[in-house]
Chain A
């Protein structure tokens, strides 16, 4: 009987110990093992890459890590924080000490101090099992931290974006930040517009693991592999984009402009070849730049187009047969009074009886009011709509603005007159490219697009262009093209034009409205055109905000346009056609 009792007691004690151990593995060990809880549910999906037209990954992915600490396991918090802080500051200080200026060295020291304080406060929270210390930590930093051999820290995969061409195309690419839940999310440009496609679908582990993290193969196994996001293939030509950014930066600095924008597209397909704005930012360190740089001015910024808009007014009048290229202006001998306002030319020079071709050549505001009178508000408004102003072009970039055209009923005679030479209406640079692209394309308007195809799981989806609309007849397009060629060859900017090429173009100098009036010293200088005029390979807009060396488009935007054009001619192998 006694022996039986002893046996019973042994059995009970063994059973109790087993239950106790199981409880430990099930609850205590599970809570402490952070790596297991972090990885067992979601397997993050890699974001899709973005390629330029030569299949170069302008946006790729890079191995990076989420760095966490386990406060309960860290003994000397202060010492640990001071060791880690220099490794977790901004990547911009990752250059050699000697390359940093005194100011930058000071900033670096301040940032290290801040980081140290932040680490100390996080690691001092002893009630926490786990605390996130940094995200998107590069591999090199991870290796440096591991070399310190401090216990109580760990890493989890946290892939990040990599930009081999640094800030190239930053404003059409956008950047990747985090949403409320800490998941990677695209903002602005292509990253914003195609976020749902680029982000892919995260997978699930769906597998039981033992306390050491090893899979238990006899248990249920239903893993769901993550699906990598779709990759975008752009129509952007990397070489032309490089040339454009280089020239634009030099020009903005040379002319002392506040900012500059260049858009180049193929008028026959609507595909964007290059799109640059300066100043720009580096999407890898987007947090360190001012927020106003994130928006792509080429699609989000509205401005009064000035004389470049004369092309639209003249196209409308030619298309309706209200004027012909040789129609003479009978009001062009001096300033005009309209609705109590005086309209004059930009240089106070007047050309009586000038033809419509000469009106464009001289960029004659009075000549344009003559054309506007012929058109009337209804017709003019109809053509403004036809050319796509006042509504989105449907370019595949997130932050596009529709511009601003007043309701037809609100137009007074003075509004008709000023709109005819591009003042009093607000357009976006991409709308101007779309409209002048239609002139270059025989009168057919095509919505601009930057993505050629989307590739996902080995399948390709070609992005089709929206329906083309014939907004003016091919004859009208040919007539206005000849007027533009004449303006380049005989106009204010003729000295800068490359010899032997037929380039169609028009300058624009628009005053900027400030507190209800126009400031004569603040202008938006632009030049829009296409080449070669007979068989256009590209349509380009160059725009500067508030250039200080000269307020005129003919002295700032036009030389930049021609300088970029020369490079494109060489790149495409387009030779001069005339001697």
Chain B
């Protein structure tokens, strides 16, 4: 009886710890798998978003280039070299008398 009692006392404790361990292990595994899966989903989505980022960057670069070209064109058109040439062609002449107030 004494022997049986000892066996009965030990067995339930061993099972409980073991069960908890297994449960924790399963929980962690599920959690880790969930995280991996989530990362995979997000990574997958993000990977395809690279295309969008690339397009946006290209658009920015193109606009910056256009801006540079336009700036250069404006400067060219308003240069004194061009303006004086146009003035000459339009028949403007240098004043011979200047009145200073």
Interface residues in chain A, defined as those with a beta carbon under 8 Å from any beta carbon in chain B = 46, 56-57, 60-63, 139, 159, 162, 164-166, 168, 210, 213-218, 238-239, 242, 569-570, 573-575
Given A213-B54, A217-B49, the answer on whether A165 and B79 have CB atoms closer than 8 Å is: yes
Main SS class of interface, A = loop
Given A210-B50, A214-B50, also A570-B98 (CB < 8 A):
yes
DSSP class of B's interface residues: helix, strand, loop or mixed? helix
| A-binding segment of B6-14, B15-23, B68-76 | B68-76
Instruction: List the B side residues contacting A218 at CB < 8 Å.
Output: 42-43, 46-47
Q: Determine whether the beta carbon of B54 is less than 8 Å from that of A214.
A: yes
Complex: how many Å from CA A62 to CA B79? 16
**Chain A residues within 8 Å of B69, by CB:** 62-63, 139
Interface flag for B38 (CB, 8 Å) = no
Which chain A residue lies CB-closest to B42? A218
Chain A positions within 8 Å of B43 at CB level: 218
Q: Which of A60, A570, A573 contacts B75 (CB 8 A)?
A: A60
Contact check, A56 vs B78: say whether CB atoms are below 8 A apart: yes
> Distance (Å) between the CB of B79 and the closest chain A CB?
4
A-chain residues with CB within 8 Å of residue B98 when the two chains form the complex:
570
Cβ of B69 to closest chain A Cβ, rounded Å: 5
Smallest distance from the beta carbon of A455 to chain B beta carbons, Å?
16
Instruction: Give B28 Cβ to nearest chain A Cβ, in Å.
Output: 24
Contact A217 B100 (CB under 8 A): no
A242 contacts B53, CB within 8 Å?
no
A215 in contact with B50 given A165-B80, A238-B80, A242-B80 (CB within 8 Å):
yes
Given contacts A60-B71, A61-B72, contact A573 B47 (CB under 8 A): no
From B54, B78, B79, B101, A215 is in contact (CB under 8 Å) with B54
- Considering the chains assembled together, what is the distance between the CA atoms of A386 and B53 in angstroms? 64
B64: min CB distance to chain A, Å: 9
Task: Report the number of A-B residue pairs with Cβ-Cβ less than 8 Å.
Answer: 68
Q: Collect the chain A residues with CB atoms within 8 Å of residue B49's CB.
A: 217
B90 within 8 A of A: no
Q: Which residues of B contact A (CB under 8 A)?
A: 42-43, 46-47, 49-51, 53-54, 65, 68-69, 71-72, 75-76, 78-81, 84, 98, 100-101
B50 touches A217 (CB 8 A): yes
Contacts of B54 in A (CB 8 A): 213-215
* Chain A nearest Cβ from B38, distance in angstroms: 13
Known: A215-B54, A218-B46, A570-B98. A165 touches B72 (CB 8 A): no
Docked-complex contact B47 and A56, CB < 8 angstroms? no
Task: State how many angstroms separate the Cβ of B9 from the closest Cβ of chain A.
Answer: 47
Query: Do A573 and B81 form a contact, CB below 8 Å, given A60-B75, A61-B72, A215-B54?
Result: no
The 10 closest A-B CB pairs, nearest first, are A164-B75, A575-B100, A217-B46, A214-B50, A164-B79, A242-B80, A570-B98, A218-B43, A215-B50, A214-B54
CB atoms of B72 and A162 under 8 A apart: yes
What B residues does A61 contact at CB under 8 A? Answer: 68, 72
Answer whether A215 and B75 are a contact pair too, CB < 8 Å, given A63-B69, A165-B80. no
Name the residue of chain A whose CB is nearest to the CB of B77: A164
Hey, which chain A residues are within 8 Å of B75, CB to CB? 56-57, 60, 162, 164
A577: shortest Cβ distance to chain B, in Å? Answer: 11
Residue of B nearest to A574 (CB): B100
Closest chain B residue, CB of each to CB of A57: B75
Complex CA gap A46/B65 in Å reads: 11
A510 to B80, CA, bound (A): 35
> Hey, which chain A residues are within 8 Å of B53, CB to CB?
214-215, 217
* Bound CA span A162–B98, Å: 35
- Give the chain B neighbours of A217 by CB distance below 8 A: 46-47, 49-50, 53
What would be 6 A-B contacts, judged by CB atoms less than 8 Å apart?
A63-B65, A162-B76, A164-B79, A165-B80, A218-B46, A570-B100
Contact A164:B50 (CB < 8 A) given known A218-B43, A574-B100: no
Q: Are B100 and A573 in contact (CB under 8 A)?
A: yes
B51 to chain A, nearest CB (A): 6
How far apart sit A139 and B70, CA to CA, in the bound complex (Å)?
13
Q: Which residues of A contact B42 (CB under 8 A)?
A: 218
Nearest CB of chain B from residue A232's CB, rounded to whole Å? 15
- The CA-CA distance from A239 to B81 in the complex, in Å, is 10
Contact A63 B80 (CB under 8 A): no
B58 to A: closest C-beta gap in Å:
11
Q: Check if B50 sits within 8 Å of A60, measured CB to CB.
A: no
Which residues from chain A contact B76 at a C-beta distance below 8 Å?
Answer: 162, 164
How far apart are the CA atoms of A139 and B73 in the complex, in Å? 13
Question: Closest CB of chain A to B45's CB: distance in Å?
Answer: 9
Q: Which B residues are in CB contact (< 8 Å) with A238?
A: 80
